[in-house]
Amino acid sequence: MVALGRPEEQFEIVVIRTTGDIVQSRPLSEIGGKGLFTKELEEALLAGSIDLAVHSMKDMPAHLPDGLAIGAVLPREDVRDAFISFASKDLASLPKGAKLGSSSVRRTAQALRLRPDLVATPFRGNVETRLQKLKAGVADATFLAAAGLIRLGLQAHITALIDVDDMLPALAQGAIGIEIAKSSHIDEIVAMIDHVQSNVAVTCERAFMAALDGSWSTPIAGHATVKDGIITFNGEALTLDGKHVFKASRQGAVADAERLGRQAGEEVRSLGGSLLTL
């Protein structure tokens, strides 16, 4: 088997458990920022003990450590959120006061905006653990990224997919990125697997996040699409209770993707002011 033009035996997979993997008992917003799932991998990159790190791009902090860069973004999977429940067919059908299990401040705020009567319940763990908690009645419903369920072959558990017009996804949701050291000899090899459209969309979305200094304590969302050389972006930030939402949209040439995302973020920051937990 050949990978990136080289025999498979030339590649070694190094498994690294991050703080986000290890600490499962507390909400992510309480124990740190998005770096919870990247810090140990980035330290290994900078130390030269690994040549590249594979990340879910939605877990990446807005700003990378000096000396590191995203060398490639793979073709993006479904960006939508998946509603999962053994009791109701969709969010609207949940009974009044139902428990919504989620570790995401973004999903919680968006759901509360649509259903302020819901009771938010902390919900950590891997996909299998969360499904087990749902069956045990810890919560009446939850949301997970459709991309993760599809990649794990668990899409049969999806009760309903949420249209992006109803619930904007997490920034860079569904995208897998390859992080490398800027001085690395592997940049040209990694570039061979870069999916340009996915990379451009993710660049725009991450620029929006950077303009808002976004972390897991900030309910922000956004989605960029690329077609015929034009990028279209919609983004928003919400208050934690979902009572207020501030939105911005941009459209322009793909070459301006980063600038458009940044401008949209600056607009949302201006609209939200002191109401946003930035």
Count of domains for the chain: 2
Average pLDDT along the chain: 90
- The two three-digit tokens of residue 31, written as one number: 């124990």
23 pLDDT exceeds 60? no
Q: Alpha carbon of 70 to those of 104, 160, 172: distances in Å?
A: 24, 32, 13
Residue after which a domain boundary falls, among 162, 197, 232:
162
Q: Of 30-39, 131-140, 222-231, 250-259, which range is least confident?
A: 30-39
Residue ending a domain, choose from 141, 162, 183: 162
Determine the pLDDT at residue 19.
64
Same domain, 201 and 254: yes
| Cα–Cα distance, 198 to 178 (Å, whole number) | 13
The domain of 145 spans: 81-162
Per-residue confidence (pLDDT) for residue 2, from 0 to 100: 46
Q: Is residue 59 among the annotated active site residues?
A: yes
This prediction's pTM = 0.89
Q: Give me the CATH number covering residue 202.
A: 3.30.160.40
Tell me the H-state helices in 76-156.
105-114, 127-135, 146-151
pLDDT tens profile 153-193: 999 999 999 999 999 999 999 999 999 999 778 899 999 99
Same domain, 64 and 14: yes
| pLDDT computed for residue 20 by the predictor | 60
Lowest mean pLDDT among 16-20, 67-71, 114-118: 16-20
Same domain, 206 and 90: no
Given 21, 59, 213, 228, which residue is catalytic? 59
